[in-house]
Structure 1
Amino acid sequence: MESPFFLLTILLFLTSSAAAAATSKPGASHDLVRSSCVHASYPTLCFRTLSSYSGAASTPRDLAQAAVKVSLSRASKVSTYLTTSVTGKSKRERVALGDCVEQMSDSMDELSKTLRELKHLRDETFEFQMSNAQTWVSAALTNEDTCLDGFEGVDGKVKSDVKRKITNVAKVTSNALYMINRLNESRG
């Protein structure tokens, strides 16, 4: 028969092992996302998109990259939607759609540059690189707003569909900018 001390030791070992497993990388990543998203412009959307994003985010840099990837992915899907699934009935709608496609293309370029910059951060150029990233993501947000401005005075299903999709991209892009600002504050 085992001694009470031996059983207590085994019990403590099993309890600490279970606790360690509960706070392993996936849980820590989930906690980082939650604590990082709490003050984002769109916290619920931030948490939903970043916690379900593939690949563990263990640092603010990982989160910033993931947020930009989410924004880039959504912008790409909207761009594809605008070029393949929507046709304007009036000349005004067609011009607005064409402008919007161009704006989304510019946004994707800026988000791609941002992602490359975030992947290659260096201590000696960190501030310059962060300034670039903030500028490019801000420009992507401006492009998304400009896309919607093109639909001023247009009513109907095309405008409402485009507005809904572009607004979603703008929200995840705003969250990406927030994550980049957090990264800048934490110095990587």
Structure 2
Amino acid sequence: MATFIIFFFTILALSSSATVMASPTLELVQSSCLHATFPKVCIHTLSLYKGPVTTPRELALAAIKVSISRAINTSEYLSSLRKEANQREKGAMKDCTSQIGDSVDDLRKTLGELKELKRGTFRWQMSNAETWVSAALTDEDTCLDGFKEIEGWVRADVKRKVTNVAKVTSNALYLINRLDHP
């Protein structure tokens, strides 16, 4: 019985410390996302993120990783739709997939830059990161231009998915802009 009580309190203590450790991460996400372009999306996506997020830099990295993941998923979704699309839709989807691919490339460059921030080149690196994320947003917006003439379910579905990618990318840019020196 004494062993059980000791075991029970050990488990309780461990779970309490895990909860205490998790709280700053949630607090960081909520306080950082408060003034983001899409605060609800920011809080939702980053509070679900699996990985270490205890600093603003880690949060910005997480936001970029979420954006990359969403963009890749959207690109794969577009590729799957092309098989069933009519000729006009196929052309728009091909162009859109290419734009989203460019967005992924820019986001990956940003991720690499943010991982290697250095005090001496911080401003330059931040300028690069901001430029690449802005270009990714432009690519995502340009993707939708090809669908303006197309009616039906594909346009609405693609618009919803690409708009979601743009929202998480916009939030990532916001979080990057908030970073201070490494």
Shorter-normalised TM range: 0.7 to 0.9
Q: Is the 8 A contact 1:111 1:137 kept in 2?
A: yes
| Residues in 2 aligned to 1:38 and 1:114: alpha-carbon distance in whole angstroms | 23
Residue 92, structure 1, aligned to residue 88, structure 2: yes
Provide the secondary structure at the position in 2 that maps to 1:24. Answer: helix
Deviations for 1:138-172, whole angstroms, at most 9, x for unmatched residues?
00000000000111111111111110100000000
| Residues in 2 aligned to 1:92 and 1:167: alpha-carbon distance in whole angstroms | 21
Gaps of 5+ in 2: 1-12
Residue 65, structure 1, aligned to residue 68, structure 2: no
Distance 1:155 1:87, change over 3 A: farther
Residue 128, structure 1, aligned to residue 134, structure 2: no
**Deviation of residue 23 (structure 1)?**
7.6
Q: Is the 8 A contact 1:33 1:63 kept in 2?
A: yes
Q: Is the 8 A contact 1:88 1:158 kept in 2?
A: no
Larger radius of gyration: 1
Q: What is residue 175 of structure 2 aligned with on the other side?
A: 179
Give matches, 1:7-86, under 5 Å. Answer: 21=17, 24-86=20-82
**Deviation of residue 90 (structure 1)?**
3.4
Q: Percent identity?
A: 57
Q: What is residue 147 of structure 1 aligned with on the other side?
A: 143
Gaps of 5+ in 1: 1-16
TM-score by length of 1: 0.84
- Runs of 4 or more off by more than 3 Å in structure 1? 20-24, 85-90
**Deviation of residue 137 (structure 1)?**
0.4
Provide the secondary structure at the position in 1 that maps to 2:122. Answer: helix
Residue 101, structure 1, aligned to residue 97, structure 2: yes
| Residues in 2 aligned to 1:153 and 1:165: alpha-carbon distance in whole angstroms | 18
Q: Is the 8 A contact 2:89 2:150 kept in 1?
A: yes
TM-score by length of 2: 0.87
What is the root-mean-square deviation in Å for CA atoms of aligned residues? 1.8
| Residues in 1 aligned to 2:150 and 2:81: alpha-carbon distance in whole angstroms | 18
Q: Is the 8 A contact 1:137 1:177 kept in 2?
A: yes
**Deviation of residue 22 (structure 1)?**
8.0
Deviations for 1:30-66, whole angstroms, at most 9, x for unmatched residues?
1011000000011111011111101131111000000
Q: Is the 8 A contact 1:71 1:173 kept in 2?
A: yes
Q: What is residue 161 of structure 1 aligned with on the other side?
A: 157
| Residues in 1 aligned to 2:97 and 2:83: alpha-carbon distance in whole angstroms | 12
